[in-house]
Amino acid sequence: MNWVNAIIQGLLLGGLFALFACGLSLLFGVLGIINLAHGDLAVLGAYVAVALLPSVHTNALWALLFVPPMFAVFGYVSQRSLLRRSMESGPLTTLLVTFGLSVVLENALLEGFSADSHSLSVGSLVTKAFRPSSAISVSYLRLGILVVAVVVLVIVQFFLARTGTGRQIRALADDGEAASIVGINTRHVAGIAAAVAFATVAIAGLADGMYAQFGPTSGGSLLLFGFEAVIIGGLGSLWGTLAGGCVLGLAQTIGAQIDPTIGVLCAHLVFLFILAVKPSGLMPATVEA
Amino acid sequence: MNDALLEADGLVVRHGQLVALREVSLRVQPGEVYAVVGANGAGKSTLLRTLAGLHPTTGRIRFDGQDVTRESAHARVRRGMVMVPEGRRLFRSLTVEENILIGAVSGRGGRWDLDAVFDLFAWMRERRHERVNHLSGGEQQQVAICRALIANPRLLLLDEISLGLAPVIVQQIYQMLPQLLDEDIAILLVEQDVAQALRVATRFQCLLEGRTTLEGSPADFSAVDVEAAYFGFATEDAAP
């Protein structure tokens, strides 16, 4: 039964990874940006909640209402200003700019909130669990995060596949110049794509903050897991990202079941193995209608 | 001459050190088919891309009396300057229908909607949900034309639409042009196939190394004149 529990916990953890990887996948797939600041942005989202929650409500779930929209605006503005400018001077510049952003964010958070770790309180929800048997415990919080991850992926997928703006985003991802030739305001549409990506990273940051403790320097490991989920799933495929997240989550919990100290190592080894045998990922596909 | 739909004056475009266009000017009237011919590298495509807003230029471009020289490409589409780019440039991960719908993004209403463009080509309606990379070159070109038409252009810029297509397909596509002109659309086309271009054109100009070497109505010039302007041995021949 411990193994069943490990598998369930792995899938639940996978939801968090997938949520985290979604924005990374979107920014890379549509705009070709490898966002090294992604992890720090997620952490920033959690800190925004830490800073603003006391004046709103004691339960961190309320932060889901205001942090993602704030990040959407932040994403749109960043794309129209900083990221677009860097993209015009080439992919290496963009990489350096997001790396710089990562360093700036991390140090600004250290300055503003000290190196102490924080967590987001969700009240009694954090301890409540569904127990179908004595060995299996499904935390409602973790289950909720997986559900949120699936819902976010479904919404993003629907947005890209079925809406006019989503169609413009896919056209932009295919051929930017042709997109402007047919009358798409490419800067605006790129801004919208970045807004969606940033909103999802804020949700991921909040989920992570409710799930575990975080500090100003937690972004790096989050980024690593995000990248691994994207690459395992196949670049640009949102469902692949969910699968990638679950594979990572499973590797981590099953590894920890064998020996509690090797869980994270197992996840990285599975990633390396998949990168070696199937570098295009499990579901290599661009976003489709 | 104020009724010209498109007026371009003294366009100079540089690609780094290379001067691609030197003081090129043209006027297109409503209902006209204006052809730009010339050899490879003469600057034809650069001219069209500049008019569409893809290259910065010195000089002046006016569309429907408004100065659009500094406007972005998508703003020009909204005014009704719509290009069918060289190489078709369809969005490969989108279906036939989605590719065409993208063309309607500028929100210009008019005669052309999805139904109207599907009526132009018989095969298109039933294959609307196919991805465009499953189509033949000619079919892709037809989708590209529909994508431009659905924007309800007032000026259609056609860049080398015959390139890489079978002659019979090219003929089909050119036969369609008069239908468009009924709607008072002006067409500015760039073509390497001089004979094809001059058959449909009401006016034309010939470019050589970024300069205009001949301009006028096809009826006013013999094939020899055009050939001379195309290859650039006019001056040597004319000198006694």
Please name the member of A170, A180, A185 whose beta carbon is closest to the beta carbon of B94: A170
Cβ–Cβ of B106/A170 closer than 8 Å? no
- Give the dihedral of Cα atoms A238, A239, A243, A249; nearest 10 deg: 50
Please list every residue in chain A whose beta carbon sits closer than 8 Å to the beta carbon of residue B103.
Answer: 182-183
Q: What angle do CA A21, A23, A24 make, to 5 degrees?
A: 60
pLDDT number for residue B184: 79
Could you tell me how many residues make up chain B? 240
pLDDT tens sequence across A197-237 = 999 999 999 999 998 899 999 999 889 999 999 889 887 67
As beta bridge partners, residue B18 has B15
Please list every residue in chain B whose beta carbon sits closer than 8 Å to the beta carbon of residue A170.
Answer: 91, 93-94, 98
The overall average pLDDT reported for chain A is 89
Q: Which two tokens stand for residue A210?
A: 């409710």
Cβ–Cβ of A182/B93 closer than 8 Å? no
Cβ–Cβ of A181/B85 closer than 8 Å? yes
pLDDT number for residue B172: 84
Q: What is the DSSP letter of B190?
A: E
Question: What is the complex's ipTM, to 2 decimals?
Answer: 0.89
Strands B33-38 and B186-191: parallel
For A101, other C-beta atoms within 10 Å of its C-beta total 20
User: Which A residues, 156 through 175, put their C-beta within 8 Å of a C-beta on chain B?
Assistant: 164, 167-168, 170-171, 173-175
pLDDT of chain A, 289 residues: tens digit per residue: 688 888 999 999 999 999 999 999 899 888 889 999 999 999 999 999 999 988 877 788 888 889 999 999 999 999 999 999 998 888 899 999 999 999 999 999 999 998 889 888 887 777 788 888 887 888 888 899 999 999 999 999 999 999 999 999 999 999 999 999 999 999 999 999 999 999 999 999 999 999 889 999 999 988 999 999 988 988 767 888 889 999 999 999 999 988 889 989 999 999 999 989 888 877 765 444 3
Instruction: Extract the residue ranges of chain B whose pLDDT is less than 50.
Output: 1, 234, 236-240
pTM for the whole thing? Answer: 0.89
Query: SS3 string of chain A?
Result: CHHHHHHHHHHHHHHHHHHHHHHHHHHHHHHCCCCCCHHHHHHHHHHHHHHHHHHCCCCHHHHHHHHHHHHHHHHHHHHHHHHHHHHHCCHHHHHHHHHHHHHHHHHHHHHHHCCCCECCCCHHHHCCEEEEECCEEEEHHHHHHHHHHHHHHHHHHHHHHHCHHHHHHHHHHHCHHHHHHCCCCHHHHHHHHHHHHHHHHHHHHHHHHHHCCECCCCHHHHHHHHHHHHHHHCCCCHHHHHHHHHHHHHHHHHHHHHCHHHHHHHHHHHHHHHHHHCCCCCCCCCCCC
Using only the alpha carbons of chain A, give its radius of gyration: 19
pLDDT tens sequence across A45-70 = 999 999 998 887 778 888 888 999 99
- Give yes or no for A180 touching B (CB within 8 A): yes
Coil/strand/helix, residue B187: strand
> Residue A283 carries which side chain, given as an amino acid letter?
M
Please name the member of B77, B90, B93 whose beta carbon is closest to the beta carbon of A183: B77
Coil/strand/helix, residue B129: coil
- Give yes or no for B172 touching A (CB within 8 A): no
- Give yes or no for A177 touching B (CB within 8 A): yes
Distance CA(A32)–CA(A18), nearest Å, equals 19
First to last CA, chain A: 40
Torsions phi, psi of B152, nearest 5? 50, 65
- Give yes or no for B77 touching A (CB within 8 A): yes
Q: State the burial class of residue A166 (Cβ atoms within 10 Å of its Cβ: 0-12, 13-18, 19+).
A: buried
Distance CA(B237)–CA(B223), nearest Å, equals 15
pLDDT number for residue B210: 92
For A244, other C-beta atoms within 10 Å of its C-beta total 31
Whether the Cβ atoms of residue B156 and residue B2 lie closer than 8 Å to each other: no
Q: State the burial class of residue B134 (Cβ atoms within 10 Å of its Cβ: 0-12, 13-18, 19+).
A: exposed
Q: Which two tokens stand for residue A125?
A: 């929800």
Nearest to B84 by CA among B106, B52, B62: B52
pLDDT number for residue A1: 60
Taking the CA of residue B67 and the nearest CA in chain A, the distance in Å comes to 18
| Exposure letters B42-75 (e unless 16+ CB within 10 A, then b) | bbbbbbbbbbbbbbebebebbbbeeebbebebbb
Give the H or E element holding residue B155: strand B155-159
Distance CA(B176)–CA(B204), nearest Å, equals 19
Name which of A181, A186, A237, A287 to mutate to probe chain B: the one with the most chain B Cβ atoms within 10 A of its Cβ: A181
Whether the Cβ atoms of residue A142 and residue A13 lie closer than 8 Å to each other: yes
Please list every residue in chain A whose beta carbon sits closer than 8 Å to the beta carbon of residue B95.
Answer: 289
Cβ–Cβ of B101/A167 closer than 8 Å? yes
Please list every residue in chain A whose beta carbon sits closer than 8 Å to the beta carbon of residue B52.
Answer: 181
pLDDT tens sequence across B200-224 = 899 999 999 999 999 999 988 888 8
pLDDT number for residue B130: 93
Distance CA(A71)–CA(B219), nearest Å, equals 63
Whether the Cβ atoms of residue A118 and residue A205 lie closer than 8 Å to each other: no
Contact pairs from chain A to chain B, CB under 8 Å:
72
